[in-house]
Amino acid sequence: MSISTIAVVCTGNICRSPMGEVVLRDRFAEAGLDVDVVSSGVSAEEVGNPIDPRAADALSSRGYDVPRRTARWVGDTNDVDADLVLAMTERHRDALLRRGADPERTRLWMEFVPGASGRDVADPWFGDRNGFDETLDLVEAGAERIVEAVRDSR
């Protein structure tokens, strides 16, 4: 199956999944691939809130354009129908499957991170700015393999 839509999902859609969305959009543009990338959260608690300032700072410090955006709840979207749904944790993946996401198209971000020792991208929200840099490291590492998977799907 050709991948033309990707949804990245975390808890509240203010840290991990928007970072994944921004990085993937950048990587697909660099690769010349037309892929629609969105993100949302399994919880509605942050709906309408902007990206966490620490996430925005981590992204902009590495040269990414940080869009003006607000958090979205997966329950208000059709994100589970994307060609590839990328969950940041196993808990997120389980929540997506309960919402009807196709198990074959719903994967963990960490599956694409070379040499990953864990299955979850840890939530940086509870820590300091360094945690956001660590999250961005994992996001960038996974993005390269995700681009390869999309290229291979065509």
Q: What is the 3-state secondary structure (H, E, C) of the chain?
A: CCCCEEEEEECCCCCHHHHHHHHHHHHHHHHCCCCEEEEEECCCCCCCCECCHHHHHHHHHCCCCCCCCECCEHHHCCHHHCCEEEECCHHHHHHHHHCCCCCCCEEEHHHHCCCCCCCCCCCHHHCCHHHHHHHHHHHHHHHHHHHHHHHHHC
Take residue 18 and report the two structure tokens written for it. 């928007």
Per-residue confidence (pLDDT) for residue 1, from 0 to 100? 75
Q: What is the mean pLDDT of each run of 10 residues along the chain (154 residues)?
A: 94 98 98 98 98 97 96 96 98 97 98 96 94 97 97 93
Take residue 37 and report the two structure tokens written for it. 């990338």
pTM: 0.97
Per-residue confidence (pLDDT) for residue 139, from 0 to 100? 98
Catalytic residues: 10, 16, 123
